[in-house]
Amino acid sequence: MALPKQRIRIVAGSPIEVGDQRLLPSVLVSTMEAGDTESGIFRRIKMRPISIVATGPQGTRWHKIPNATSDKLSVMAAVGLGVALFSMFVLLLNWWMTE
């Protein structure tokens, strides 16, 4: 069985006209594909907005869209790992002291 094929690209969305401004969103598209037609195909597509380019009379400005959910989940996972490691250390210390 071959490894899954992964493709990451940035795709520009359709422009949006708002008053005298033109907004152009962009999306990060991650595609993972594995398998063949005989055994079945596994496909996972993940899309996340990453920026908006605003063009107007004042000029062109780029606005980044932060990924706050992923950042918070990463911090929570790191804290959980720290608590688990500290708990293991306390249990090992307790076991060592009783012998």
Q: Supply the pLDDT for residue 17.
A: 94
The answer to whether 65 and 52 are in contact (CB under 8 A) is yes
pLDDT digit string (tens) for 25-80?
Answer: 999 999 998 877 666 678 899 999 999 999 999 999 999 999 888 889 999 999 99
Question: Where are the domains positioned within the chain?
Answer: 1-65, 66-99
The answer to whether 44 and 73 are in contact (CB under 8 A) is no
